[in-house]
Amino acid sequence: MYFVETNIAKRPILMVSPTICFNLGRRNLQMAMIEQLTQLKEEVIEKITATENIKQLNEVRVAYLGKKGPITDLLKGMGKLPAEERPKMGALVNEVRAEVQHIHDVRKATLEEQAIQEQLEKEAIDVTLPGRPVKVANAHPLTRVIEEIEDLFISMGYEVAEGPEVEKDYYNFEALNLPKGHPARDMQDTFYISEEILMRTHTSPVQARTMEKKQGASFKIICPGKVFRRDNDDATHSHQFTQIEGLVVGENIRMSDLKGTLDIFAKKMFGEDREIRLRPSFFPFTEPSVEMDISCFKCGGEGCNVCKHTGWIEILGAGMVHPNVLSMAGYDPKKVSGFAFGMGPERIAMLKYGVDDIRHFYTNDVRFLSQFHRTEE
């Protein structure tokens, strides 16, 4: 302490040495940094607690704990502190940073769990609610008729056999007793791809192939599928249509077996009161050959526009398998016999459902198809 003269009066003035002032300044800076650190800690904890989602939490973390955050600035400002105080201040800052990071991690886990719960609540399904009704499609009327015929013959012990639509000339004609030069082989009736390859004109080639595979064994099959003929499309004809043919081969197969089979078929498809009649006909692969008619289901045989006032409706062709066909397939016609029949599902569907134009089956007109809607049990 020392005196300084003034104009007013001589009075003692307390003066502090520069060293003391410097030390006091550093101590005040340390206290200010500690106070600022405490305020930042309280502030960031309050903001972390107030966050409502992960995005807000990340924003707070970057703002306070990031490279440009105030806590990082405090670490950068420690260079102004005495050397012996810097480790203490650094440890304090790191302690606060770790505490804030821990609170941040806890809050983050809580928010993530809340987000998952909210998502689960939004996506929750009440299993007690009735299911949404699903529109069930219906089979095409042709498909329905084909499946009905298949089910009938399967119940009688028949197997369903299939074959290629692009067929060899041999199986389509020669193996069925249709030699070269036969009218059915005319280019006007058949789609030829080459001299030996064609689009099958009937499903009979499946019968010839099956007889070859069976190698003399007995069997009963039906052969559904598409066939192709060079025909002008009109109300009753189409260049592509479907056929179902049947073949039974074995010992002691008689014409009476064929008649009984066709009688069951007619009654199952058109009603128990239907009667059948067999008219003589000709097919190269059967001998004898017949055409089967059924009594008109509309007029009961009295005569109407459906049966053309005859009382009978032609349904299919049939006959006993020709001995030449059996021989070419490796069967002995003296020991084995068989019968065959063939029908057009389109014709049966037209008669059964009263359809007057075969082209309706192929145009996919919803107005037509919707008339056959039914619930399948």
* CA dist., res. 87 & res. 23, Å (int): 18
* CA dist., res. 274 & res. 265, Å (int): 10
Residue 11, pLDDT score: 42
Tracing tokens 């949404």 back to the chain, one arrives at 132
Q: Spell 208-231 as b/e; 16+ CB within 10 A means b.
A: bbbbeeeeeeebbbbbbbebbbee
The answer to whether 344 and 321 are in contact (CB under 8 A) is no
Comparing CA positions, the residue from 47, 49, 78 lying closest to residue 63 is 47
Residue 294 pairs with which residues in a beta bridge? 276, 313
Q: How confident is the model at residue 157 (pLDDT cuts 50, 70, 90)?
A: very high
**What percentage of the chain exceeds 70 in pLDDT?**
85
Q: How confident is the model at residue 243 (pLDDT cuts 50, 70, 90)?
A: very high
Q: How confident is the model at residue 88 (pLDDT cuts 50, 70, 90)?
A: confident
141's tokens = 């009327």
Q: What's the predicted TM-score (pTM) here?
A: 0.61
Return phi, psi of residue 12, to 5°.
-70, 135
Task: Examine the pLDDT at 42 and tell me if it is beyond 70.
Answer: yes
Which of the two residues, 109 and 22, has the higher pLDDT score?
109
Which of the two residues, 66 and 153, has the higher pLDDT score?
153
Which of the two residues, 367 and 35, has the higher pLDDT score?
367
Comparing CA positions, the residue from 203, 176, 170 lying closest to residue 327 is 176
Comparing CA positions, the residue from 179, 180, 170 lying closest to residue 212 is 170
Task: Examine the pLDDT at 220 and tell me if it is beyond 90.
Answer: yes
Residue 351, pLDDT score: 84
Tracing tokens 């189409």 back to the chain, one arrives at 238
Q: How confident is the model at residue 237 (pLDDT cuts 50, 70, 90)?
A: confident
* CA dist., res. 211 & res. 132, Å (int): 51
